[in-house]
Structure 1
Amino acid sequence: MLTATAGEAAPQAVCPTHPSREAVRTCVRCGGYVCSACERQEGQCPECTRQTALEVPDSRARALRAVVSLLITLGASFLSLLFHVGLLLMGEEGDEALEKVTAVVTTVGFLSGYGSRVYFLMWFHRVVRQLQAQGAGIGRTPGGAVWMWLIPFVNFVKPFTLMKDVAEKAGGARFAASLHLGLWWGVQLLFYAVDTVKRVLVKVVWKESGAPWDAACVLGIVMALVVVLLTLSYVRVVRELQARMDRRRAALEAGNEPVPEDEAVAA
């Protein structure tokens, strides 16, 4: 009987999947022989790689939480948009009750926006972790990928490249292109710009004299509109990418290895 030390194949050992090929090592998990074509991440055989990937919980529940929180933000932002338009049309002598309701709705949208960001990053962390376990890592740990969204200035560029990498690993270049991530990130940068302008106006320009009524209403309208567009783009990205992750998971559960759609078409 052929024997081998851990990680090395014995002389003349062959791959059980490809008997015509010589084994190059043993699987670090099960000890079975693997050839160069069967060797996967961290020296595992295809079956052990599949089992390792299935041990990582899927991201469906986190995707659902992210989408629900995003939809709450969307609803609050849309109402804020309508109420700010109403305040602008009525002028400074408008309904005081409407002004208070607008402030409440805007606050709800602000808080739900932060909540949706937390849920989104939790989902993103799980997706990166799943891909890593499937041998389709993006070159960063799940935690490291999340930090790229939080570091100032770095988060102007890096999240876009990370999301593009995730989309390509999950479904191939064609799928990544179908998500129109450039448009999604463009709206995100627009949000950053509008939010910065708002902060400067409130904390510097209008600090002493207060905000002019019309200008404050217009700023509220612009901010709410940008948030609506941004939230819609996030919902689409999460849904589409999660659907692709579900397909990969289904392939693993069926005993197959997940293959990006582009590669499957090419094959």
Structure 2
Amino acid sequence: MRQLALEVPDSRARALRAVVSLLITLGASFLSLLFHVGLLLMGEEGDEALEKITAVVTTVGFLSGYGSRVYFLMWFHRVVRQLQAQGAGIGLTPGGAVWMWLIPFVNFVKPFTLMKDVAEKAGGARFAASLHLGLWWGVQLLFYAADQVKRILVRVVWKEGGAPWDAACVLGIVMALVVVLLTLSYVRVVRELQARMDRRRAALEAGNEPVPEDEAVAA
């Protein structure tokens, strides 16, 4: 099993790409937050140039958010594949685990349970608890809810007359703030979980069987 596990490429490069893309999203969202606050304070007669810059930054954050999602799922796929090869599978194929993030309604619950399973397999129950995955997923659900409210306001409430200036600024502030919190939580989860995967890989390369640290301490 050890040799087969080592034949699976590690997930370090994918983790790095995921974190970099998340940090780009974080930076763009933070700037969007500041610019929307500036626009709100200046009022409807505010700086037209700042309004255009805010729109560009918001668009960059939106696009980088999709990119970071792709890189995150690529990393998650590789992590599940590694655990499976190490005899610590989560009951789904790597591809099946990724699909759980994409299927409507299923993705409200299943990704949380999968991430918890992955964390426990990689580092043990104490490690999984230290990640505060409930808080992480709570922010994710908050993002889903805020995004749905935004869609309703734009497509139904403000469809004909357009969004009132103050309301549009407040909505921009709320969305940017939620994305900032969500992105920070994703960065933390990826970094800490990847560190555990690196330890498991190091154990394999040293000729040992990787076990969660909880089990190692108990032994």
TM-score (norm 2): 0.99
Pairs within 5 Å for 1:236-251: 236-251=188-203
The CA distance in 2 between the partners of 1:135 and 1:142, in whole Å, is 14
Instruction: Spell out, residue by residue over 1:67-102, the C-alpha distance to the aligned partner (whole angstroms, 9 max, x if none).
Output: 000000000000000000000000000000000000
Tell me the CA shift for residue 114 of structure 1.
Answer: 0.1
Tell me the CA shift for residue 146 of structure 1.
Answer: 0.1
CA RMSD of aligned residues (A): 0.2
The CA distance in 2 between the partners of 1:154 and 1:204, in whole Å, is 26
In structure 1, stretches of 5+ residues that fail to align are 1-49
| Aligned equivalent of 1:126 | 78
Of all paired residues, the percent bearing the same amino acid is: 96
The CA distance in 1 between the partners of 2:15 and 2:84, in whole Å, is 18
Tell me the CA shift for residue 121 of structure 1.
Answer: 0.0
Tell me the CA shift for residue 244 of structure 1.
Answer: 0.1
> Is 1:61 paired with 2:10?
no
Tell me the CA shift for residue 214 of structure 1.
Answer: 0.3
Determine which structure has more spread, i.e. the larger CA radius of gyration.
Answer: 1
User: What SS is found at the alignment partner of 1:209?
Assistant: coil
Instruction: Spell out, residue by residue over 1:82-129, the C-alpha distance to the aligned partner (whole angstroms, 9 max, x if none).
Output: 000000000000000000000000000000000000000000000000
User: What SS is found at the alignment partner of 1:207?
Assistant: coil
The CA distance in 1 between the partners of 2:172 and 2:55, in whole Å, is 10
Tell me the CA shift for residue 182 of structure 1.
Answer: 0.2
In structure 2, stretches of 5+ residues that fail to align are none
Tell me the CA shift for residue 57 of structure 1.
Answer: 0.1
The CA distance in 1 between the partners of 2:213 and 2:178, in whole Å, is 33
User: What SS is found at the alignment partner of 1:150?
Assistant: coil
| Aligned equivalent of 1:199 | 151
| Aligned equivalent of 1:112 | 64
The CA distance in 1 between the partners of 2:8 and 2:142, in whole Å, is 35
The CA distance in 2 between the partners of 1:259 and 1:108, in whole Å, is 41
Give the paired residue count.
218
Tell me the CA shift for residue 205 of structure 1.
Answer: 0.5
TM-score (norm 1): 0.82
The CA distance in 1 between the partners of 2:214 and 2:70, in whole Å, is 31
Q: Find runs of 4+ consecutive structure 1 residues off by over 4 angstroms.
A: none
The CA distance in 1 between the partners of 2:181 and 2:218, in whole Å, is 35
The CA distance in 1 between the partners of 2:170 and 2:44, in whole Å, is 13
Match of 1:229 among 177, 181, 195: 181
Tell me the CA shift for residue 195 of structure 1.
Answer: 0.3
Instruction: Spell out, residue by residue over 1:35-68, the C-alpha distance to the aligned partner (whole angstroms, 9 max, x if none).
Output: xxxxxxxxxxxxxxx0000000000000000000
- Structure number having the greater helix percentage: 2
The CA distance in 1 between the partners of 2:159 and 2:10, in whole Å, is 48
Tell me the CA shift for residue 232 of structure 1.
Answer: 0.1
The CA distance in 2 between the partners of 1:146 and 1:79, in whole Å, is 31
User: What SS is found at the alignment partner of 1:149?
Assistant: coil
The CA distance in 2 between the partners of 1:195 and 1:113, in whole Å, is 13
Tell me the CA shift for residue 185 of structure 1.
Answer: 0.1
Tell me the CA shift for residue 219 of structure 1.
Answer: 0.3
